[in-house]
Amino acid sequence: MDESNDPHAVNSLVAEDADASAGMVRWDPLHSLWNGTMLLATLALALPLFTWGAFLMFLLTTGAGLLLGHSVGFHRRLIHGSFECPLWLERILVWVGTAVGISGPFWMVRTHDLRDWAQRQPVCHDYLAHRRPMLIDAWWQMHCRLQLAQPPRFDLGRIGRDSFYVFLERTWMLQQVPIAFLLFVAGGWSWVAWGICARITASVTGHWFVGHLAHRIGPQTWLVDDAGVQAHDVPWAAIPTMGEAWHNNHHAFPDSARIGLYPGQSDWAYRFILLLQALGLARSIRTPEPLATRKALTPAAPTATVQDHAQLSAS
C-alpha cells in the first residue's frame, strides 16, 4: 500500500480494465455460516442468560472494539493511512479490529477498497451501492459476495507481506478463543454469550445497517463529482460508530483522520488519535483543512458553501 500517492486514491486497488457494474452475487459460505451462527447463538444463549453485568461488559467490549480496532486500527490507519504510529501499536490496533469479528484484515481492506473505488465510478453494481431494499441488501452484505465479471486486482503492499497480518487473516475466527476463555473465567457462560456472540452480531449487523443508510438517505454537505454513488451522514449513529457515521464527510475527504468535521459532529476515534499524539504515539495526522478547495467536490447546498468552509478552517 503506497501511502505516498494521492491520499484520495483507493490505495490497494489496481483498476486496469476493471468494470464495477457487471457481476453476480454469490453465497459466501464462510462469512454466512459465521454470521448466522453468531446470530443464532445470541438468540438461543445470550438472551436467556442475560445479566446486567454481562450486558455492561457487552457494551464496553463492543465500544472498545469499534473505537480502537474497527475505526482507528482498520479504517483510519490500515486502510487510509491517515496517521502514522509505531508498528507495534498498529499491530495491536489491527488485532483489536480483527477481534471485532467481522473478518480478517486483508478481507476488510479489499472489501472497503472495492466499494470505495466502485462508488466513484459513474455506474456500479447494486451490491456495491447498497441500492436494493433493506432485507435483500442485508442478505447480500452479510451472507454473500460479489463476483465481478472484470474485477480489479489488489496490491496490499507492506501489510500484505506482514507475517502478523497474514496470521490474523488465516486465524481471524480463532482470535475469539482466548477472549472467550477470559470471559468465561471472569463471568461464566453469560459473559461468553454476550461478550462473543452478541458482540459480534451487533458489530456485523451495525456495520451493515449504518453502511446501508449512509448510501441512501440523510444529510449531505458535499457531492463528489462524477461519482455514481453519493454518501449521506447518519447523525444518530455518530457515537456508536465512533465518528464513522459522518459518511458524507468521509467521501469528501477520505484520507482525513478527522471525520466529524463540523460543530456538533462527535468523533471519538479522532479524539483518541489526538490522545495518541499527545502521548508521542501518533504523528503526521491528516486533516481536511488544506483540502477544503478540492476540485472534485461540489457543495450539496450552495448557500452553505462559505459557512462550511469557514467552519472547517476554524475547527
Range of the domain at 134: 20-314
pLDDT of residue 204: 97
pLDDT tens-digit profile of 234-285? 999 999 999 999 999 999 999 899 999 999 999 999 999 999 999 999 999 9
Q: How many domains does the chain have?
A: 1
* Residue 12 banded pLDDT, cuts 50, 70, 90: confident
In the block, cell 436494493 appears at 132
Q: What is the DSSP letter of 235?
A: G
Q: What are the strands, taking DSSP E only, across 78-206?
A: 144-148, 153-154
Q: Is residue 9 part of a domain?
A: no
Phi and psi torsions of 205, nearest 5°: -65, -40
- In what helix (H) or strand (E) does residue 112 lie, and over which residues does it extend? helix 105-120
- Residue that wins the pLDDT comparison between 296 and 231: 231
- Residue 124 lies inside a defined structural domain of this protein: yes
Q: Has residue 46 been placed in a domain?
A: yes
Least Cα distance to 198 among 15, 51, 9 occurs for 51
pLDDT of residue 4: 44
Q: What percent of the chain has pLDDT over 70?
A: 90
Predicted confidence (pLDDT) at residue 2 exceeds the cutoff of 60? no
Q: Is residue 5 part of a domain?
A: no
What is the value of pTM for the model shown?
Answer: 0.90
CA distance 308 to 8: 20
Domain assignment of residue 8, yes or no: no
Q: Looking at residue 91, what is its pLDDT?
A: 97
Question: pLDDT of 131-183, one tens digit each?
Answer: 999 999 999 999 999 999 999 999 999 999 999 999 999 999 999 999 999 99
Q: Please report whether residue 262 resides in a domain.
A: yes
Other beta carbons within 10 angstroms of residue 307's beta carbon come to 12
Residue 309 has pLDDT above 80, yes or no: no
Residue 14 within a domain: no
User: Has residue 108 been placed in a domain?
Assistant: yes
| 30-34, 104-108, 287-291, 296-300: segment of lowest average pLDDT | 287-291
Residue pair 146/23 in contact by the 8 Å Cβ criterion: yes
CB atoms within 10 A of CB 264: 7
pLDDT in tens, 64-110: 999 999 999 999 999 999 999 999 999 999 999 999 999 999 999 99
